Structure 1
Amino acid sequence: MTSRTLQLGFLTFVPNDGGPEGAGQSLHDGIRLFELAEELGYHSGWVRVRHFEPFLASPMTFLAAVSQRTERIRLGTGVIPARYEDPIRLAEDASTVDLLSGGRVELGLSAGIGQLAPILDPVFGVSERPFSAEAQHRIERLRAALAGETIAHSGTGFMSVPADTNLTLSPRSPGLADRVWYGPGSVASARRTGEQGLDLHVSTLNTEETGDPFDVRQAEQIRAYREAFAHSPFGERRSGRVAVGRIVIPVLNEADAEAHNGFITAYNARMHPDGRPHDRTLPMRFSPLHTGTPEQIIESLRADAALPEIDSLIITLPAPGGAEAHQRILRVIAEDIAPHLGWTPHR
């Protein structure tokens, strides 16, 4: 698989399935998923961030709760749409959770989903900058705050704010500035991520269509990132980290099939077998599913051209299926699949 020590993580939407117990139960189910993953030796757990959808919308609040129920597992956001975040407030929240967790936060960011801009822009009050430029502007402010740079000057001060003082982030968790990730979808954005000294978290979607297979193009993105990072000022003191998301669904019995066949059918129906969407106006390509028996999944992942380039394999859980089905996916992967890919549990 890889000459590096492979780390294993998972990503969840923390879905609210509309059941009788509602959203509160879904949050508790999400916390239990992190607890189980830690017991199984997963290195990291990540949460999707969605506004006005039946999924998690407040990642730092959720991860603060997870931090008090776990000890080792890394706590990641995969990813926060930076276009819709106040960078200083996010820096305050992320630093607070990092301090609560003992330095376990992995802060993943992205520009956001452009197709949602007509809905979200009026709600969150973005500026007149173009879509990606606004996100980049906010990410720069966030990183400056995390690094301890001056945010504002206190002027005459007031109450416990001292006069004539350069104000910096408070509370600040010093190590968090080196644990900021970006989720690109193209070679150009991956290269920019490396130049900026951010870690790389690529997902199950490429936002460019070049005619190449999904995994081949993503491997090119990773190589472009690593080259850019190595030649950046940041490359003098550390190596950039790469995490890759893959949808892995073991189907070993009728219960597994009942839980996941609906999702598998719907996912595949959106695209051609090579991952190109049926809507030819969309310049993107989706990752194939890795599903079947453990042996079939191992063979499928070993054939993935991007995986030899990575540090962390992130298991992207399907949104539907239910808490028990998601727990089973994590368990089967940890016990029957990941050890054959070079992974050893994190204890």
Structure 2
Amino acid sequence: MKKLGFLSFGHWSTQNGSAVKNASDVLLQSIDLAVAAEELGLDGAYFRVHHFARQLASPFPLLAAVGARTSTIEIGTGVIDMRYENPLYMVEDSGAADLIAGGRLQLGISRGSPEQVIDGWRHFGYGPDKEAGEDEAAFARRHAEIYLAHLEGKGFAEPNPQPMFPNPPGLLRLEPHASGLRDRIWWGAASNATAEWAAQLGMNLQSSTLKVDETGEPFHVQQAKQIRAYRAAWKAAGHTRQPRVSVSRSIFGIVNDQDRMYFGQGGKESDSIGIIHDTRAVFGRGYADEPDRLIEQLKADEAIAEADTLLLTVPNTLGVDYNAHVIGTILTHVAPGLGWR
């Protein structure tokens, strides 16, 4: 058995063929797709977060709205760039969204991906501590550690002796507090070292469709090794609960002429190489084929086999109905053949 979710990049475009023309469209359709996915029996609805782009940006209003419209599906991000976040305000926002959703948030956080603007986080008022020799990656991890510490719900702030409203005894914590959310934070790791760091801090692991090329091996092999290194570090850290691990894939089952028109041309059947943050990275292949052949191809993906959660990247600009069809095809024609359902 494997948990299955969708991952939407939340694009909008005015180009012909796009069913998502503006920011209002993408927000409302994201909610509708989560509702449709829950009705189909999918386990999770996840959303990418990108600033200065025609994509989803501020996640918590969307997550809260999805939480209010659904009842069982997990609701998450993949990922929130911690360089842009006020960690304490994020504790409040995520706590409120989790309470609205009844404890269903699964938040992916990380350093983030290449940006639309140069050093975009500085426009938000944040940046590395240059005096301490901090780089962008360390700066993101510092914000993450502050966020995690305050999610615990321990009091730390001295109360006003003459408050407007009565205070509970002792130091005050941030409110609203969402019990259990600390165990539902995921780190998006591109390298083995950051995966091991995430394990030490007790975060779940999100590993997406790119990874630092550390060995020259195929993407899925490197990603599977990253997952094993993460689990070994988790065990060594002595955590008592079982960690969760997700991978993301573009997977399309071709069952009709519309599928064939969109995805029947091929072109992504192998890994590709790129440069991310001045580092060589390997990008995983996509999958698009008739269900029987798709099942055989997916059986050979070592990282999917290692993970307990698989996020299906969806082409959100093609609209809610078509993406519900994409999800339903995987659930009906592919997942049972792989033992995921």
> In the alignment, residue 10 of structure 1 is paired with which amino acid?
F
Aligned equivalents of 2:155 and 2:168: distance in 1? 15
1:200-235 per-residue CA deviation (whole Å, 9 max, x = no partner) reads 1110010234211000000000000001111113x2
Q: 1:21, CA displacement in angstroms?
A: 5.7
The counterpart of 2:318, out of the listed 298, 318, 321, is 321
* 1:163–1:328 distance in 2 versus 1, CA, 3 Å: closer
Q: Cα distance 1:14–1:278, how it changes in 2: closer, same or farther (>3 A)?
A: closer
| Distance in 2, Cα, partners of 1:209 & 1:232 | 24
SS at match of 2:76: strand
Q: Report what 1:218 is aligned to.
A: 223
Deviation at 1:307, TM superposition (A): 1.9
Determine whether 1:289 maps to 2:286: yes
Q: Deviations over 1:313-343 (max 9, x none)?
A: 1111235433333222111111111111212
Q: Which amino acid aligns with 1:249?
A: F
Corresponding residue number in structure 1 for 2:132 = none
Is 2:14 the counterpart of 1:9?
A: no
Aligned amino acid, residue 206 of structure 2: H
Alpha carbons 1:67, 1:97 under 8 Å: kept: yes
Q: Once the 2 structures are TM-superposed, how far is the Cα of residue 26 of structure 1 from its aligned partner?
A: 2.1
Q: Which of the residues 276, 301, 306 maps onto 1:309?
A: 306
Map 1:189-268; keep pairs closer than 5 Å. 189-233=194-238, 235=239, 237-260=240-263, 268=268
2:185 equivalent to 1:180:
yes
- Residue identity opposite 2:305 in structure 1: P
The structure-2 alpha-carbon separation of the partners of 1:182 and 1:157, relative to structure 1 and needing over 3 Å to count, comes to farther
Query: How far apart, CA to CA, are the structure 2 residues paired with 1:145 and 1:227?
Result: 26
2:268 is the alignment partner of 1:275: no
Query: How many angstroms apart in 1 are the aligned matches of 2:316 and 2:214?
Result: 25
CA displacement 1:245-289 (0-9 Å, x = unmatched): 111122333322333469x65xx4xxx94322399x650000100
SS state at 2:328 partner: helix
Question: Over aligned residue pairs, what C-alpha RMSD do you find?
Answer: 2.4
Amino-acid identity (%): 36
The Cα of 1:7 is off from its aligned counterpart by 1.2
Counterparts of 2:210 and 2:161 in 1: how far apart (Å)? 50
Q: Moved runs in structure 1, 4+ residues, more than 4 A? A: 114-117, 161-165
SS in 2 for 1:29: helix
Q: Is 1:60 aligned to 2:65, yes or no?
A: no
Q: Map 1:74-223; keep pairs closer than 5 Å.
A: 74-114=74-114, 118-129=118-129, 130-160=135-165, 162=167, 165-223=170-228
Q: In structure 1, how many angstroms separate the alpha carbons of the residues matched to 2:8 and 2:124?
A: 24
Paired residue for 2:48?
48
Q: Deviations over 1:162-190 (max 9, x none)?
A: 49952202110111111111010111111
Q: CA distance change for structure 1 residues 117 and 224 in 2, over 3 Å: closer, same or farther?
A: farther
How far apart are the structure 2 equivalents of 1:79 and 1:94? Answer: 14
1:341 is matched with which residue?
A: 338
SS in 2 for 1:153: coil
- Whether the 8 Å contact between 1:260 and 1:321 is mirrored in structure 2 is no
| Structure 1 residue corresponding to 2:327, chosen from 308, 319, 330 | 330
Deviates more, 1:194-203 or 1:324-333: 324-333
SS of equivalent residue, structure 1 residue 97: helix
Deviation of residue 104 (structure 1)? 0.4
- Which TM-score applies when normalising by structure 2? 0.90
Could you tell me which amino acid in structure 1 is paired with residue 85 of structure 2?
E
The code of the aligned residue for 2:253 comes to P
Taking structure 1 as reference, are residues 302 and 86 closer, same or farther at Cα in structure 2, changes over 3 Å only? same
- The one-letter code of the counterpart of 1:65 is A
Are 2:83 and 2:127, in contact at CA under 8 Å, matched by a contact in 1?
Answer: no
